[in-house]
Amino acid sequence: MSSTVQYFDDLYRRSDDPWRLREGWYERRKRSLTLALLPRPRYHNAFEPGCANGELTVELAKRCDALLAADLHERAVTLARERLARAAQGAQPSHVRIEQRTVPREWPTEAGPFDLIVISEFAYYLDAAELETLAARIAASLTTDGTLLACHWRRPFAEARESADRAHALFDARCGLARLAHHDEADLLIDVWSRDARSVAQREGLL
């Protein structure tokens, strides 16, 4: 874990947006895809670990009655809070909390259950045992109609302990959920699962 912390220290020392989350078309497009694949227009209580500087958090906040975002790095938490405050043109929205947590070890059991958990660009930093723990925490924390969305970069990089494909396969095998959507590109993998196996059309009564 110390090497991971040092990795993020180095990244945030060089930039407050080390992955070009604000400016890059890849990242903006990915956020649009992520939000479009959610099967419900609104959620009651959501959790987003690994929130980085809060670009996705801003968009999730618009669709959640309550949102807990977390990151292991203090600088990321500060940046995410500032980003939410700017988006709200003042103070951070009262329905959003952003905390420094090391997930899955510091899982927010007290804040659940959640009807939405978003694991975005996060799972590949975990080792096999941590991924198993993460999957168990997710399964224990989702409501009876809860949604899990996982979104990850597929290309190999030095700091990744696991691939996107293997992490998503583990969620599929361990979380006991029905897969609702699967978006597959050379660079990007997005999967959506839910305890409610109905399609979006079925939820709207179109079928």
pLDDT in tens, 75-92: 889 999 998 998 887 767
Structure-model confidence comparison of residues 93 and 63, the more confident one: 63
pLDDT of residue 124: 92
Backbone angles phi, psi at 103, to 5 degrees: -100, 135
Q: How far apart are CA 59 and CA 54, in angstroms?
A: 9
Q: Does domain 2-203 have CATH number 3.40.50.150?
A: yes
% pLDDT > 90, the chain? 77
pLDDT of residue 89: 79
pLDDT tens digits, residue range 89-113? 776 788 999 999 999 999 999 999 9
How large is the average pLDDT for residues 61-83?
A: 93
pLDDT of residue 4: 65
pLDDT tens digits, residue range 123-148? 999 999 999 999 999 999 999 999 99
Q: Is a pLDDT exceeding 70 seen at residue 1?
A: no
pLDDT of residue 97: 97
Nearest Cα residue to 48 out of 126, 108, 132, 128: 108
Sign of the C-alpha dihedral computed for residues 18, 23, 24 and 30 taken in this order? positive
